[in-house]
Amino acid sequence: MEARSEAGSLWLTRPQDINVHLACAASERRPVLLSGAGIAARGAFAERVDEWPLFVPDPKAPTPLPRLGATVKCDYYARNDAYSFFTRLVSLDIQGRWVLQSPLAVERCDRRAAPRHLVVGVSGFCFSLCDLPGQPLLGLYDISSAGVSFVADPRRHRFEFEEQVIGQVHMPGEMPLTVELEVRHSRDFPRQPNLRIYGTRITRISKEHEHLLAEFLTHWHRAGGVV
């Protein structure tokens, strides 16, 4: 059951809904940012023990444990939405996982204002990095007037949450569009665990390129995904 705020956010408030939601978040291993009490820890949720959510810090980015009882905020992303909740650090278990207090509410926000078009595997859709000229083009997974998702091998290109990326979006039959993107989430590419999909939002684009992108997507949609 979700309640809607005046700002348009949706809230999970029933304990059973929150439990199911957090179980799904743990199974999907979505990247989580846990912040507050002077720390900013990256990691993922683990399967819950009893009713306690568990946070597993990223071993590649060690973070000091905040004091027990400290209030912290968890931010994480799914394919179409962003989620957050406030909680308290209860304890540290024998496996080094952070035991959290079950939240009273989970906010669902940042829903996509613009529909994304799936273009993975379609010739001509790709992304190039401005700071790495000559590198192979990265394939696009989906595209909208608000952002793009591109595919990369993290062994060659690794992008962090909220990282700013400058590059060019290539679309069939169109001039490349220069954009600045902010990485919002990442996930494994289906059935290819050596690849990751990085979801982004556009933070800077010229008016001319913004118009060209909107015009192209309108034509793409009307043509049923055919240029």
165 and 85 in a common domain: no
Question: Is 227 a member of any domain?
Answer: no
Name the residue with tokens 């408030």.
Answer: 13
Instruction: Among 109, 130, 152, give the residue marking a domain's end.
Output: 109
The reported pLDDT for the residue numbered 226 is 47
Instruction: Among 87, 109, 131, give the residue marking a domain's end.
Output: 109
Contacts of 156 (CB under 8 A, 6+ apart): none
pTM, rounded to two decimals: 0.54
- Which range is least confidently modeled, 100-109, 163-172, 185-194, 218-227? 218-227
Q: Which domain holds residue 198?
A: 117-222
11 and 103 in a common domain: yes
Residues 20-59 pLDDT 10s: 889 888 888 888 989 887 888 989 999 877 778 999 998 8
CB 66 within 8 A of CB 38: yes
Average pLDDT, the chain: 84
Question: Is 74 a member of any domain?
Answer: yes
73 and 149 in a common domain: no
- Domains held by the chain: number: 2
84 and 41 in a common domain: yes
Long-range CB contacts (< 8 A, 24+ apart) of 45-50? 45/76, 46/97, 47/23, 48/19, 48/22, 48/23, 49/93, 49/99
Residues 81-140 pLDDT 10s: 778 899 999 999 888 899 999 998 888 765 555 677 888 888 899 999 987 766 778 999
**Rounded to an integer, what distance in angstroms lies between the CA atom of residue 197 and that of residue 183?**
10
